[in-house]
Every structure is written in structure tokens, then in C-alpha cells.
Structure 1
Amino acid sequence: MGREQAERAAELEALGIGWDTADAAIATSLAAARACHWLHGTLAAPRSAAILDVRIGQ
């Protein structure tokens, strides 16, 4: 990544803009896992389970 691209990426991140789709997918999955744990007290979910429109089943 060139210097100019790195500066632009830093500016986007400072604004809270997610520009990396892999990072966004991980953040979404973590939010779903946290919500599941908060609601049910466990991460052991049935295969068909979904929360926040994310399939979390094992």
C-alpha cells in the first residue's frame, strides 16, 4: 500500500468508516455472538439459530 493510500485509509478509520469488507464481516459476526451470549448465556446454539440476521448455529 502506498503512502497516499495509507493516509486515506487512516482518515477513513478515524471517521469510523469500515472500508475493509473482511473486517466488517468479523465485526458483524462478533456482534451476533455477543448478542447471543447476552440473550442466552451461552454460545452453544442450535444449527438453525440466527441472531442479527447472522447464522450462529454450530
Structure 2
Amino acid sequence: MMTPYDKLKSLPDASNYLKPGISFETLNQVALQISDNEAADQMKKARQKLFNNIHEQTLKTG
């Protein structure tokens, strides 16, 4: 199974989809800094924080 990043890299002329000044070499360095499980944990924590903020805002306004 391919990650979204792997799929992006596999596209023809994939570098054309990157912002100016960004390269796959730079993105690879970032991608390899943490494991997939660590990235999933970070995303889970960020999502929970977001939902907690939304819930708090709802309680204050509703």
C-alpha cells in the first residue's frame, strides 16, 4: 500500500506539483525524521486538540 507521499513521488513529472523551492530531497529528509507510527501519533494528538478546541468554543457560545 502506498502512502500519499509515495503516490505523489510516483506521478510522472511529480516535481512539477511541488511549490517553488521545495524538492523531493528536502521532503525525503523530513519524511524520514520520524516513523509512520510516530507521525500517526502526532496526527492523533493534533486532531484531538482540534476537536477539544471546537468543543470548548461550542460550550462558550452555545
**TM-score normalised to the size of structure 2?**
0.37
**TM-score normalised to the size of structure 1?**
0.40
Higher alpha-carbon Rg: 2
Higher helix share: 2
